Amino acid sequence: MSQGRKRIVIVGAGIVGIATAALLVEQGHAVTVIDRTGVAAETSKGNAAALAFSDIMPLASPKILFKAPKWLLDPLGPLSIRPSYLPSLTPWLWQFWKASLPGRYEASIATQTSLMRLAEAEMMALVDRAGIAGMVRHDGSLELYESDAEFNAARNGWQRREKAGIAFEHVRGSRMDELQPGLSPRFVAGTFVPGWKTVSEPQSFALALWQHAERHGAMFDKAEVRSLERYEEGPSVRLADGTRREADRVVICAGAWSKRLIDPHTRLRIPLDTERGYNTTLPPGAFDLKRQLIFGNHGFVITPLETGLRVGGAVELGGLDLPPNYARSKSMLDKAATFLPGLKTSDGVEWMGFRPSMPDSLPVIGALPEDPSVLLAFGNGHLGLTQSAAMGRLIADLVAGTKPSIDIAACRPDRF
């Protein structure tokens, strides 16, 4: 093995593990990705397909503290907490509240802004190198408001985006109809973001990126990782069949399950939890959707995919083990039918996924304090697809021992 070439084991073949593998093999490292389910077979399979590079406003915000109590009153609304999970969630909620206070919120916007700039540059370059530019749609998004009060409440966030150089256009009347014909008249205004992108279908996109990584030598191993270990020369992982994989670096990209793997090996108590999200994918022809539509006040989006039309979002705080409640998918589909009269709602496929969510809306990027050869890359919450190539670049920087492409102090594993 040539000098500088490292053996790297990545745990987790979601979009973050895939993009990280791609960036590491491109640099000549020997990379094996281990996943118990398959490549892009869990959360990264069914998301809403947005490359939301302009989404720099953290979820943890003064605004959400104001909105959350109202949302929680509706059991099928944009935000819900499974009562039996509330005791386990308390530390996460406490950190979420602290991160929503004005000082921390401002700092989070600054970090998200630089992370998103890196994310866009890295993802678009990776897509080009992988030869899959045709899988990215450039038709923007349209956020919709049902009243002037709702539109005015959103203005502050748009002003912040404007300062960050993000282009958008507030629209009404015929311009709104032109961007999306057939909307319910309940929508009085909208904001069009031309730079917003979506992928043709999240799982095929992730698989295409994986093929690129494979062409550069990345290997896949279908297995469950039981624990992190050390051998004489470096880190290793113990698999469920009892065998061990040794490496120079182990990268934990296990999404919402990452905490379960690292907790036994660190004094850090990283407050990773999951925001469960739901959707329904309708067959092609359900509606002539021109671009992704965002219903911010209802906590869901509708995305045109090459395989149909995906309706969903919402946040359910309920941990990793409780069964899904697909009444949530149905509720969003019912609302979508009133928002888009004429939407054909039959023959949909329901899905639930586990967003890996940190209470301050920032991911975890960095080394485990107890063992700097174990790197952590998870916690992108609502934005894992969008930020995956940036996560890969930053992990590649850490492996190379060079200065990270952006300041990642706010994403340190020991920040809590």
Enumerate binding residues for ligand FAD (CB under 6 A): 11-17, 34-37, 41-44, 47-50, 52, 224-225, 253-257, 261, 277, 279, 312-313, 353, 355-356, 378, 380-386
> For 226-233, which contacts have Cβ atoms below 8 Å and span 24 or more sequence positions?
227/261, 227/264, 227/265, 228/261, 228/262, 228/264, 228/265, 228/371, 228/374, 230/371
Question: Which CB sits closer to ligand FAD, 4 or 332?
Answer: 332
Q: Under a CB-based contact definition with an 8 Å cutoff, are residues 295 and 144 in contact?
A: yes
Question: Which CB sits closer to ligand FAD, 44 or 325?
Answer: 44
Task: Name the nearest CA neighbour of 151 among 192, 189, 194.
Answer: 189
Q: Under a CB-based contact definition with an 8 Å cutoff, are residues 114 and 409 in contact?
A: no
Q: Under a CB-based contact definition with an 8 Å cutoff, are residues 31 and 8 in contact?
A: yes
Q: Please, what is the minimum distance in Å from the beta carbon of residue 224 to ligand FAD?
A: 4
Q: Under a CB-based contact definition with an 8 Å cutoff, are residues 77 and 299 in contact?
A: yes
Identify any residues that bridge with 230 across adjacent strands, giving them in sequence order. Answer: 235
Question: Which CB sits closer to ligand FAD, 123 or 399?
Answer: 123
Q: Please, what is the minimum distance in Å from the beta carbon of residue 384 to ligand FAD?
A: 2
Q: Please, what is the minimum distance in Å from the beta carbon of residue 191 to ligand FAD?
A: 17
Query: Cβ of 165: how many Cβ atoms within 10 Å?
Result: 10
Task: Name the nearest CA neighbour of 343 among 298, 297, 296, 280.
Answer: 280
Q: Please, what is the minimum distance in Å from the beta carbon of residue 197 to ligand FAD?
A: 10
Report d(CA 275, CA 80) in Å as an integer: 10
Question: Which CB sits closer to ligand FAD, 101 or 125?
Answer: 125
Q: Please, what is the minimum distance in Å from the beta carbon of residue 319 to ligand FAD?
A: 14
Question: Which CB sits closer to ligand FAD, 155 or 360?
Answer: 360
Task: Name the nearest CA neighbour of 110 among 389, 373, 360.
Answer: 360
Identify any residues that bridge with 220 across adjacent strands, giving them in sequence order. Answer: 33
Question: Which CB sits closer to ligand FAD, 154 or 254?
Answer: 254
Token reading at 326: 């697909």
- Three-class SS of residue 349? strand
Task: Name the nearest CA neighbour of 8 among 369, 262, 260, 373.
Answer: 373
Report d(CA 374, CA 368) in Å as an integer: 6
Q: Please, what is the minimum distance in Å from the beta carbon of residue 340 to ligand FAD?
A: 19
Residue 135, Cβ density class (10 Å: 0-12 exposed, 13-18 middle, ≥19 buried): middle
Q: Please, what is the minimum distance in Å from the beta carbon of residue 332 to ligand FAD?
A: 10
Question: Which CB sits closer to ligand FAD, 279 or 331?
Answer: 279
Question: Which CB sits closer to ligand FAD, 382 or 393?
Answer: 382
Q: Please, what is the minimum distance in Å from the beta carbon of residue 45 to ligand FAD?
A: 7
Question: Which CB sits closer to ligand FAD, 268 or 272?
Answer: 272
Q: Please, what is the minimum distance in Å from the beta carbon of residue 59 to ligand FAD?
A: 12
Q: Under a CB-based contact definition with an 8 Å cutoff, are residues 18 and 206 in contact?
A: yes
Tokens 């359900």 belong to 286
